[in-house]
Structure 1
Amino acid sequence: MSVTTENSKKELENWVNQYSDELYSWALYKTSSKETAEDLVQETFLAAFNKIESFQGKSQPKTWLFAILNNKVVDYYRLSARTTKNNFSLTEESGFELSDGLFNTTENWINKDINPIWDQEEQLLDNPNFNLVLQFCMDDLPEKWKLAMTSKYLTNNKADVICKELEITTSNYWQIIHRAKLLLKKCLETKWD
């Protein structure tokens, strides 16, 4: 049954009373921030209020609200990934700069400290929030670099197959992979808290 204009306010009040705690718990789990979780739940109910007349009752209200909340969480991470303190952007030029900065003038490795995010006990790939940021960083790679990384690590294609697909040489392929990994590392260190 659809929610009509007359009873939409009352219905939403019932949903707020009934589902706020569960929505908040989920938002807190996804963001690890009380303030952000509160904001996301509030935004969820505001969006629900604005679209309540389109709710047709084909799913439970709780399911509908959680779908809205999940979209708000994704939007939150998308915005967080795009607005960084350092305004770091994933371009081929920044990849070259990162690669060039690994060696000193005598061609020796520059000793760099490891960022503390890599020194965690938890497995980062088991963390859904980390995976969201990783996906945003992957999406921001230059297109050819993203295709090379996806082909190598997600579809497990061989280097010669990838080189044919991207119409690049083998040495160019390995440089792209190396620089793309450096860009991903820098992006994750910049955007992952």
Structure 2
Amino acid sequence: MDQIKENPKSILEQWVNQFSDELYSWAFFKTSSKEVAEDLVQDTFLAAFHKIDTFQGKSQPKTWLFSILNNKVIDYYRLSARTTKKNFSLTENSGYELSDGLFNTHGCWKTNDINAAWDQDQELLDNPEFNSIMENCMDDLPQKWKLAVTSKYLSDKKTETICQELEITASNYWQIVHRSKLLLKKCLELKWV
């Protein structure tokens, strides 16, 4: 501890050399973006430098740095959710855009960014806040899409029955369900994270 207080710059330099690769790997895993991961690691070390005098040595430096990085990742997703929230609504067109955006111009899958919120250990369905937001997102779906999803997942109706009730083909039904799930995921990421 005394060593940190006497020469914080030198200690932090050691930590940069020692832990940069692991921090970067974790940030890249969480964001799927090389540039964002690099920025988050840099922000982590800047924050550590400014708060190094608060490091009490009750945990390992690596643990302390990873906790800073995890907070930076959460802040990154909150900020990007706020920015996206202003320009996003649950419409059929936004569902088409989300599903069409899964493929590149050659018809191959694009790599998808997975929001860190989906890596949580707790059971989401046991979380009352999550359930409330999920209900709001369901209510915001286009009416036919909401009926398709609730009939399938909440009423356990068979595909044939749902298609007859909604007067749609089976392939149209599966497209609607798929796009609805994409919209729900996006809505939850915007409102819940």
Name the TM-score, length of structure 1 as normaliser: 0.54
> What is the root-mean-square deviation in Å for CA atoms of aligned residues?
4.2
Number of aligned residues: 137
Query: 2:27–2:37: 8 Å Cα contact kept in structure 1?
Result: yes
Q: Residues 77 and 8 (structure 1 numbering): CA distance in 2 closer, same or farther, change over 3 Å?
A: same
Report the equivalent of 2:139. Answer: 179
Unaligned regions of 5+ residues in structure 2, if any?
A: 104-108, 120-126, 143-179
Partner-residue secondary structure (3-state), 2:87? coil
Distance 1:85 1:178 in 2: 16
Unaligned regions of 5+ residues in structure 1, if any?
A: 89-93, 103-109, 133-145, 154-172
Distance 2:54 2:3 in 1: 8
**Structure 2 residue 131 is matched with structure 1 residue 150:** yes
Letter in 1 for 2:81: A
Letter in 1 for 2:131: T
Report the equivalent of 2:118. Answer: 131
Q: How far did 1:85 drift?
A: 8.0
Query: 1:84–1:191: 8 Å Cα contact kept in structure 2?
Result: no
Q: How far did 1:116 drift?
A: 1.7
Report the equivalent of 2:58. Answer: 58
Q: Residues 10 and 117 (structure 1 numbering): CA distance in 2 closer, same or farther, change over 3 Å?
A: farther
Partner-residue secondary structure (3-state), 1:56? coil
Q: How far did 1:45 drift?
A: 0.2
Name the TM-score, length of structure 2 as normaliser: 0.54
Query: 1:43–1:72: 8 Å Cα contact kept in structure 2?
Result: yes
Report the equivalent of 1:32. Answer: 32
Query: 1:3–1:55: 8 Å Cα contact kept in structure 2?
Result: no
| Displaced runs of 4 or more, over 6 A | 117-121, 146-149, 189-192
Distance 1:191 1:149 in 2: 11
| Counterparts of residues 24-173 of structure 1 (less than 5 Å) | 24-84=24-84, 87-88=87-88, 113=96, 115-116=98-99, 127-129=114-116, 131=118, 150=131
**Structure 2 residue 14 is matched with structure 1 residue 14:** yes
Letter in 2 for 1:129: A
String of CA shifts for 1:137-174, please: whole Å, max 9, x gaps: xxxxxxxxx96971697xxxxxxxxxxxxxxxxxxx9x
Partner-residue secondary structure (3-state), 2:7? helix
Q: How far did 1:84 drift?
A: 1.8
Distance 1:57 1:82 in 2: 35
Report the equivalent of 1:157. Answer: none
Q: How far did 1:129 drift?
A: 2.9
1:188 corresponds to which of 186, 189, 192: 186
Distance 2:72 2:64 in 1: 13
Q: Residues 66 and 86 (structure 1 numbering): CA distance in 2 closer, same or farther, change over 3 Å?
A: same
